[in-house]
Amino acid sequence: MLIEKLPTGIDGFEHISNGGLPKGRTTLLSGTAGSAKTVFASQFLASGIQQYQEPGLFVTFEELPDDIRRNMNGFGWDINAWEADNLWSFVDAAPRPMENEVIAGDYDLGGLLARIEYIVQKNKIKRVSLDSIGAILNRFHDTHIFRRELFRISMALKTMGVTALMTAERSNEYGEIARNGVEEFVADNVIILRNALENEKRRRTIEILKFRGTFHQKGEFPFTIDPKIGIIVIPISAIELAQHSSNTRISSGINEVDKMCGGGFFRDSVILVSGPTGNGKTLLATQFISGGVKNDEKCLLFAYEESREQLFRNAIGWGIDFEKYESEGRLKVICEYPEVTSLEDHLVRIKNSIAEFRPNRVAVDSLSALERVSTIRGFREFVISLTSFIKHYEIAGLFTATTPTLMGGTSVTESHISTITDSIILLRYVEMFGEMHRGLTVLKMRGSTHDKDIREFTIDNNGIHLGKTFNNIVGILSGNPQHIVSENEDRLGGMFNDPKIPPI
């Protein structure tokens, strides 16, 4: 028989669980202190009420109901109101400091079970959260009875037909599933929440360890806690490469660049612009935005390197009036320091902004600035997730990336993103006879032919202007340009024409 899934209503969780929690079963949710177990357990009930009108029961073994009511109010979950409508119920099993429990002889948790059963029947409960079961053992100390009673509760929950979530404490991010080594045996399904410290940065992930008899996505997925929504799981590998592809070309905002790309970017492509600092990346992004607005498209610009004032002033210098665009509702500029929040939260903010504003074009300047607030792994996941999100909306996205050295080289950003992007434009400094020149080349243009030259470009009041190709220069892309005198050039060319050299 197929095991049905119950949609939790937690953003992104349905993706990684292939539809939700196994219906009518108990799932163990294990995590270290501060790994958001209580939030998850509460959100499971809250979204059940909000999205599916399913009444929920919260059995609390640690926190007092009043604390939970207050703590969860921040997410906009009005537990008091739900309690009045019998949509949310508490079974208060939290210890009080004054009560000293004396044990004299054998016992069971029949009292607890009877209370749960009573409320489940009375209020037609569909979802039950038990938080956290390890606290029972802290009170009663007997592991043998704990195991026996947990098993009994889990069987009883199954008989009641509710879908239950039991939380358990664990001591290490990577170690035994739960602290007491008992909890995992009573549940058919185990989910692990992690809050690991990596390079001085916290990274929250969720992993479905097992779902007995049914399928789920494997491995850890990052998640974040939005102060208004709660937990948002970011499903990376669950993203499908199923987006449409269009042949419609859009202008990059610079005619000569359009020509180099064989007629402009594709409407739903992701473009990476890589170059050293001060080489014209922000300008290229600005012109990309302006090109969109001029074409009556809506544009969204995320700036992580410059302040709003700086950005607007620079744009004016190139004859582009962002302020006017914004007042016309065709542009939205979001300026933020990367450090204000975690990368996962940035991702959620970007996604929300795109979903709200519904732009035709998105520019991110620069992606590398965001690299600072994350681990390498987290950043890779961010880039993949953002790219696929933009592709999902079938809009054009332009990301800039700063190379680590002035003369080029590859950055982490590029190595993570280069295979995902449809087009790559490289900007480079070229040193020639004691002068710095700027060079631009289209390295990749998926689905189209493009100009392979490295062209010199200049910047004036109107923006970028492409000039001639660099002749007699090699090694521009490797960051080590060398001028070849014509004698050498002739010799190099002649080498391959020499019939005396046998082919290898």
Partner 1 sequence: MSEFRFKLYITGHTPRSDLAIYNLRQLCDTKLKGNYKLEIIDILENPEMAEHERILATPTLIKLSPAPYQRITGDLSNPDRLISGLDLDNYLHEF
- Judged by the rule CB under 8 A, the positions of this chain that interact with partner 1 are 91-94, 99-115, 117-119, 136, 139-140
- Going by C-alpha positions, the residue among 239, 201, 58 that lies closest to residue 132 is 58
Nearer to partner 1, 60 or 413 (CB): 60
Q: How far is the CB of 224 from partner 1 (least distance, A)?
A: 35
The strand ranges marked E within 156-200 are 163-169, 189-198
Nearer to partner 1, 133 or 231 (CB): 133
CA distances from 259 to 255, 292, 360 (A): 6, 17, 21
Q: How far apart are CA 56 and CA 77, in angstroms?
A: 13
Nearer to partner 1, 84 or 492 (CB): 84
Q: How far is the CB of 103 from partner 1 (least distance, A)?
A: 5
Nearer to partner 1, 104 or 504 (CB): 104
Q: Are 421 and 271 in contact (CB under 8 A)?
A: yes
Q: How far is the CB of 31 from partner 1 (least distance, A)?
A: 23
Q: How far is the CB of 105 from partner 1 (least distance, A)?
A: 3
Q: How far is the CB of 190 from partner 1 (least distance, A)?
A: 24
Nearer to partner 1, 106 or 200 (CB): 106
Nearer to partner 1, 183 or 344 (CB): 183
Q: How far is the CB of 156 from partner 1 (least distance, A)?
A: 12
Nearer to partner 1, 117 or 326 (CB): 117
Q: How far apart are CA 475 and CA 95, in angstroms?
A: 72
Q: How far apart are CA 251 and CA 258, in angstroms?
A: 6
Helix axes 110-122, 143-160, angle to 10 degrees: 20
User: Residue 284: which residues within 8 A CB-CB, separation 6 or more?
Assistant: 252, 254, 257, 273, 398, 400, 425, 427, 464
Q: In the structure encoding, which two tokens stand for residue 188, read together?
A: 């058919």
**H or E element that contains 90:** strand 88-92
Q: How far is the CB of 83 from partner 1 (least distance, A)?
A: 13
